[in-house]
Amino acid sequence: MKKVNLFEELLQERNKEISSEELKSLVKNIWSKEDENKNRIFKSLSKKNNKEFNNLKFNEMESKNIFHKKTIKKIAVRYRLRFLDSKLFKGEYPKNITNIISGLEKKHNTTLNNFMIMAPSKLFKIKSPDDPILFVPIGNDYYYLIHKWGEEFNSFRRLLVLPFKNIDNLTIFSVLVSVVFALLGKLIMPSLTLSEVFILFLFLVKGFIFIFFYMFFLTRRNFSESIWNSKYDSF
């Protein structure tokens, strides 16, 4: 019995429907359209936002991906992040970002614009693997999360950036450091009286507040509550 070559069978059946040249032309057009779509999306990601929002189909949106600006601000301030136009983003997008955006556009029958990204300050300056999140505005200060990529944050980050949240936090941090050093002074010199420890504490408070605030502003830093949506360099 003659054996069947499935590849030959496929070729014969396909050639009945379309010639090789027509097939090449068809595939070339598909690839060309895909390339045009990718270029359009990357151009949109690098454009300055015009503050218009995107019209997404209500029934197609996932509620877990909808966030109000107040919520985004809280997280940005808590972890010392920026929430800025994608035009200012200097990091790398994942390789499949155009497919993700294109898929969402088809799902909602729209063209997405005015992308926003929440990420660490350094991602708006230099390339970094840290954890960015891409959003689009959908109106009334609400944003729709499109994609999250990169490495997860260490939970310790929240404690590290806590002193830089606002002026009150930095002041409290200075006082706590002064308390620790005053107690260390008591341990090192047990002969110190409580009055002397208190005087040492007051001296340390003035010293640490001056040092921390001076170094903070000398290095052109600013508080998280001030920079979370600022496009300027102070971070």
Q: What is the pLDDT of residues 180-231, one digit of tens each?
A: 888 888 888 887 778 888 888 888 888 888 888 877 776 667 787 777 777 6
What are the residue boundaries of the structural domains of the chain, listed by start?
Answer: 1-153, 159-227
Beta-bridge partner residues of 118: 83, 133
Task: Provide the pLDDT for residue 109.
Answer: 92
Helix (H, G, I), strand (E, B) or coil at 123: helix
CB atoms within 10 A of CB 118: 25
Q: What is the pLDDT of residues 87-127, one digit of tens each?
A: 888 888 888 899 999 999 999 999 999 999 998 887 876 45
**Which residues have a Cβ under 8 Å from the Cβ of 201 and sit 6 or more positions away?**
178, 179, 182
Task: Provide the pLDDT for residue 235.
Answer: 47
Q: What is the pLDDT of residues 155-179, one digit of tens each?
A: 777 777 888 888 888 888 888 988 8
Determine if the pTM surpasses 0.75.
no
Per-residue pLDDT averaged across 133-152, rounded? 85
Task: Indicate if the pLDDT at residue 77 is higher than 50.
Answer: yes
Q: Alpha carbon of 58 to those of 51, 54, 72, 136, 139: distances in Å?
A: 20, 12, 21, 14, 12
